[in-house]
Structure 1
Amino acid sequence: MEEREERNLELVKSWMPRIPVPEVDLLIVDQMGKDISGSGMDTKVINRGVYGEYNIWDTAPKVHRVFVRGLSPKSHGNAVGIGMADVTTTRVVESVDWAATYVNGLTSNAFGAIRTPVHFATERECMERVWPTAGIFDPAELRIAWLRNTLELGLLGLSENLRPLVEGHPGVEVVGGPWELLFDPAGNLVDLWEEIPGG
């Protein structure tokens, strides 16, 4: 019985959504929110804990920096989990309903989940300021993964240097690219999903 339970546990773990590479320097998350995960972002996808832990899951890729671009509309400003991000924009911080966020974080005793991350005026500045802190000094070597949110991993963007790791990976289809990371005149990322077939 115990042996069968262990096999079942391994099987269930294999079904968990995950980024299909072993290590990411910068993870871009378009939206976090209560409708996506009770903790705002799935902790096993971003490899963070709500108490401030980094890279705690050995079954998930090692993620050095997390950049959150926005809150989901259905969160109604509740940004519990934002403390798991390393960087975000000032726009996101100003959109937070801090009263609701604090109640949620304090009730769950997850102080790390409600801390305010470092924030900058534009997404370009967020990326330019945070990527060197991942220990990579040549931007061409930066390993980037880009998600809509941690609930929707059916389509994700990966930097070209990660492509060899996913080509031939079971369950992964490379649908095109490469595409360049572009910024609009306001310094925000141009939506990658408009470029990807099926996006």
Structure 2
Amino acid sequence: MKFIDFPEMSVKVEGMDNIKIPKMIKIRQIYDPFKIKDLKSWIEREMETNLSDKDSFKGKRICITAGSRGIPDLDIIIGTIISKLKEWGSKPFIIPAMGSHAGGTAEGQKDFIASYNITEESMGVPILSSMEVVKIGELEDKTPVYCDKNAYESDGIVVLNKVKPHTDFRGKHESGMAKMMAIGLAKHKGASMFHMKGFSSFPERIPQVCDVFLKNAPVAFGVGIVQNAYDEISNLEVMEKEKILERDAALLEIAKEKIAKFKIPSIDVLIIDEIGKNISGNGFDPNVVGRSNSPGFEDVLDLKKLFIRGLTDATHHNACGLNHADVTTRRCVCDVDYESTWVNVSTATMLNGGRIPVYTNNDRDALLLAIRTCTGIDFDKVKVVRIKNSSTMDIIEVSESYYDELKNRDDVEILSEAKDIEFDKEGFII
């Protein structure tokens, strides 16, 4: 890991001393709450119902993919699949399949999935983590298609992934099982090759890679997962190899409807407590926040200034997405592993993702600077919103200037009176 000890900064703007930090109200944004309550039974039923040739798994080495995206109860999901495969007489094992994430190293990727309780001890099967790949074909434009060597040498690959809108492009297939085949299973080498033509090429080229992959790699079946607005699993489907692309596209449309967005269309300053790769490839979801390295997200939210306070523990100091902040703190920029972050953004050809924003010495100064540098606003009625992360959108805080706008809505519940933001003696939000 490579960290930088940035110096303290005194960033003062004329008039900043007159800025008042508004009182905040806690609210609940209400979304569709449906979730799968008994994951184990659901998965067992899906496998029994949708996979026709159970006998074909007997004596076979079956590889299960574990990606970097945060999926609730991923250990239960993978553990249940393993148990069912063992029941059918197969010999399952797990591979980390996350392209260049976790520093693009075998050990880093194995450690990453361990943070989801995916270990050899908890799963009862081997975890084969390697960056070695096999070329299994190429596209018409000569782009090589790669597959993790351990997966390719197995008797069958379970392509498992969360299906959700991507943070950098729009298409029929975005983040999901298709992208797992195109990039996740291609490891660092394949991910780097695929990203060379940029995100604008993804909608066209992902299906092309999948066609090659499905023809030349030993894919067994797919598992597609969708989460609701509360970050809980609302859809989980097991499907035969031939239906993976069809269901990947269908689940994406469902996922787009499930996204938790702000009930308010305009924000002066948005405070995000934490960003991370476990939340989104972009650290936060541009489908919620409206900022991305790529075009297509500009109409998501009318946002003037973004203040990012820190990184999740599960991101392992990867700060992809921090570049979108208008301001952060010294504590945050000193917590970044720049080597890991820059490997990730370089693989994606998005070098601007490695930039750092303006930083101040603490949260209070960062918030004051963000408010002061908003233009065309009423400073006495500044609109500030605070969220933990873009996956936690139900309970949030909004400044008291939103009260009249929200008090009579049936999809918003007011949970508290307006209160001052509490800071510790060093100026950080408590």
2:424 is equivalent to residue 184 of structure 1: yes
Distance in 1 of aligned mates of 2:411 and 2:258:
11
Q: In structure 1, what is the equivalent of residue 349 of structure 2?
A: 109
Task: Read off the aligned partner of 2:415 and give its amino acid letter.
Answer: V
Contact 2:306–2:370, Cα closer than 8 Å, also in 1? no
Task: Read off the aligned partner of 1:80 and give its amino acid letter.
Answer: C
Task: Read off the aligned partner of 2:394 and give its amino acid letter.
Answer: G
Identity %: 29
**Corresponding residue to 1:83 among 299, 305, 323:** 323
Contact 1:26–1:144, Cα closer than 8 Å, also in 2? yes
Contact 1:27–1:63, Cα closer than 8 Å, also in 2? yes
**Corresponding residue to 1:22 among 238, 262, 265:** 265
Larger radius of gyration between Structure 1 and Structure 2: 2
Task: Read off the aligned partner of 1:179 and give its amino acid letter.
Answer: K
Distance in 2 of aligned mates of 1:113 and 1:155:
29
Gaps of 5+ in 1: 1-7, 191-199
Distance in 2 of aligned mates of 1:43 and 1:112:
16
CA RMSD, 1 decimal: 2.2
Distance in 2 of aligned mates of 1:167 and 1:9:
33
Number of matched residues?
180
Contact 1:83–1:113, Cα closer than 8 Å, also in 2? yes
Change (3 A) 1:26 1:140: same
Contact 1:167–1:173, Cα closer than 8 Å, also in 2? yes
Q: In structure 1, what is the equivalent of residue 79 of structure 2?
A: none
**Corresponding residue to 1:65 among 302, 305, 324:** 305
Q: Which segment is superposed worse, 157-166 or 105-114?
A: 105-114
Contact 1:46–1:66, Cα closer than 8 Å, also in 2? no
2:285 is equivalent to residue 42 of structure 1: yes
Aligned positions of 1:128-167 closer than 5 A: 128-135=368-375, 139-167=379-407
Contact 1:33–1:40, Cα closer than 8 Å, also in 2? yes
Q: In structure 2, what is the equivalent of residue 119 of structure 1?
A: 359
1:14 positional shift: 4.5
1:183 positional shift: 1.7
Which structure shows the higher strand fraction?
2
Change (3 A) 1:57 1:168: farther
* Alignment TM-score, normalising by the size of structure 2: 0.39
2:409 is equivalent to residue 169 of structure 1: yes
Gaps of 5+ in 2: 1-250
Q: In structure 2, what is the equivalent of residue 56 of structure 1?
A: 297
Per-residue CA deviation, residues 155-176 of structure 1 (Å, 9 max, x unaligned), is: 1000011122222324221111
1:129 positional shift: 1.6
Q: Which segment is superposed worse, 160-169 or 60-69?
A: 160-169
1:30 positional shift: 0.5
Change (3 A) 1:10 1:74: closer
Q: In structure 2, what is the equivalent of residue 195 of structure 1?
A: none
Q: Which segment is superposed worse, 78-87 or 122-131?
A: 122-131
* Alignment TM-score, normalising by the size of structure 1: 0.82
Contact 1:84–1:112, Cα closer than 8 Å, also in 2? no
Task: Read off the aligned partner of 1:46 and give its amino acid letter.
Answer: V
